Amino acid sequence: MEYAFNPVEKQKIIAIIGIGLIGGSLAAKIRVRGVFDHIIGVDNDPVHCEVALKMQLVDEIVTIQDAISKAGFIVLATPVDSMLHLLPSLLDAVTDQVVMDTGSTKQQICDKINGHVHRARFVATHPVWGSDMHGPAAARAESFENKVAVICEAGKSDPDAVSAVKVLYEKLGMRVVEMNPKDHDIHTAYISHLPHLISYALANTVLEKERKEDSIRSLASGGFDSATRLAKSSSNVWTPILNQNRDNVLFVLDEYMDELKKFRNCLERGNCGDISYLIEHANFIKEVVH
């Protein structure tokens, strides 16, 4: 049944542009928590649209133009390269709507719309949650719980827009922190982007070896599964992320390779004492990440 739109009810309607893993999971969580009365989906992939409707993640699929006219709250949850193209035209069309993104890179996105006439209606955010799965079929209603949502450049957004975004994330069970885009991007290079690169590289190393030794498949177990889980992540999502944050990722990658060389040098010299020291020093990560 078609939704009977009433302008008075506009603030109870949310539109999610990009209903893949993140957008779909947001929709699922919003549905469970009852944050909005009506969820609109926008996606250029007909399979995503079909799955999102079948799973009842969204109530209807519309065009971007219709979503802007109907919804009071708009979420841009596409891959980050698409965000750079879509966000300026999206802001061109809004009036009093709240617009937020979910991208895991922030500097380029913030720079792209700096000075836009409707910049204040936009809130730059990053809900720090993800999965190696992709697409709306992988959407999880239990997503985002007890995770962090980052807001960048809050001072450039209208207070009511920032407040609305904070309320949304808090209702989804997230803890909201504020950070500038530069710091956000270097931190995510360490904690998210580098781990993905490592996982991809390890998977490719093993895939080359497996061509020669089929037995490696039977020996792979818990540690290997954990280390290569991220290698299952979508190239459509991660190629633009790594490209947008490449300067930070290159810096962090060089640091990581220096740490690998320390292990290599110790192994080459057969220096068990230094190997133990490096391992024991690494064990302190449990004090940082629980």
- The answer on 133 and 204 residing in a single domain is no
What is the arithmetic mean of pLDDT over 241-246?
93
Give the pLDDT confidence score for residue 7 in this predicted structure. 39
Q: Which residue has the higher pLDDT, 272 or 110?
A: 110
What DSSP element (H or E) covers 76?
strand 73-76
pLDDT digits (tens, 9 = 90+) for 130-152: 777 788 998 888 889 999 999 99
- The answer on 135 and 195 residing in a single domain is no
User: Mean pLDDT in the chain?
Assistant: 89
Q: Is the per-residue pLDDT at 38 higher than 60?
A: yes
Output the CA angle 90-94-98, nearest 5 degrees: 95
pTM of the model: 0.86
- The answer on 268 and 209 residing in a single domain is yes
Q: Is the per-residue pLDDT at 58 higher than 50?
A: yes
Q: For residues 123 and 149, is the Cβ–Cβ distance under 8 A?
A: no
Give the single-character DSSP code of 214.
T
CATH (domain of 213): 1.10.3660.10
Give the pLDDT confidence score for residue 222 in this predicted structure. 65
CATH (domain of 49): 3.40.50.720
From CA 106, how far away is CA 125, in angstroms rounded? 8
How many residues belong to the chain?
A: 290
The fraction of the chain above a pLDDT of 70, given in percent, is: 90
pLDDT digits (tens, 9 = 90+) for 19-37: 999 999 999 999 999 999 9
